[in-house]
Amino acid sequence: MAKWLGVAARSIWPPLVTAVVVVATWEAVCRLFEVPAYMIPAPSRIWMAFITNPESLLFNAGVTLFEAVTGFLIGSILGAMLGTAFAYSRLLARGMMPYIIAANTIPVVAIAPIIILWFGHGVQSKIAVTAFLSFFPLALNMMKGLQSYDRVIMDVFHVSAANEWQRFFKMRLPNALPYVFVGLKLNVTFSVIGAIVAEFVQADKGLGFVIMTTYRTLNMPRLWAAMLLSALIGIMFFALIALIERWAIPWHSSMRNDE
């Protein structure tokens, strides 16, 4: 337990110190040069905008978090299934991969209105946009991980007369987990971005909705408060995946190097 607390402390204090230095410098520059709030509001103004009506911002942050998490889960599950299919069928991978890459290169601001037209203006359309952005990174990393097994170990399983399920769960999947977590960490970023951009297009709640409405009224401190809340959601989400990764693959070299 003490070792885990030590690792957590070593991981947390550098970004905390950086945050304190950045916020102090930001506040000092805004006050010293009298930077207008509509350009870059000082951290104190952003904090005041938050505590003036925190319930509204927290409610909208909860909506965006729900959309991001749900879309992340759906997209990751679909991506894992697709990546597994590609790893076992090169013909399927060669046939579908160019079209999946093409779909992934479409800007989210272009695809979001179409998805909203299909799924309606409710939360489900935001989740669909988030899932659309989240499936590709995990599909690619899952395929790469499942294909990157040690051939010698595969021969050992073959000699031991292991069936395909045993090979998958005891050899190929554990070997693929480092790749899987890379894909999941990418999905975290895309899920938050997807939820907020979908809220830009059509929404009546969520942090994207707050950002768009405050932009129209030039209420920049509140806009920055919403933007920083979205960043905090992404950081916390990413940290959760990193914690699960440390628990799931403590044997990997990237985990041991942090100890």
| pLDDT tens for the chain, residues 1 to 259 | 555 555 556 667 777 888 889 999 999 999 898 888 888 899 999 999 999 889 999 999 999 999 999 999 999 999 999 999 999 898 998 898 888 888 778 887 788 888 888 888 888 989 999 999 888 889 999 999 888 877 767 767 776 767 778 888 888 888 889 999 999 999 998 999 999 988 888 788 999 999 999 988 889 999 999 999 999 999 999 989 988 998 888 877 666 655 4
Give the global pTM.
0.86
Is residue 168 in some structural domain? yes
Residue 28 in domain? no
Number of domains within the chain: 1
Q: 169-184 burial string, b = 16+ CB within 10 Å, else e? A: eebbbbbbbbbbbbbb
In a domain, 58, yes or no: yes
Q: Which domain holds residue 63?
A: 36-256
Residue 10 lies in a domain: no
Measured torsion, CA atoms of residues 159, 164, 170, 175, in degrees rounded to the nearest 10: 100
Sequence-distant (6+) residues with CB within 8 A of 57 are: 50, 207, 210, 222, 225, 226, 229
In a domain, 5, yes or no: no
**Does 247 reside within a domain?**
yes
| pLDDT for residue 206 | 92
User: Is 86 within the bounds of a domain?
Assistant: yes
Is 14 within a domain? no
The encoded tokens of residue 130 equal 């988030």
> Contact at 8 Å (CB) between 82 and 144?
no
| pLDDT at residue 4, as a whole number | 54
What CATH number does the domain containing 190 carry? 1.10.3720.10
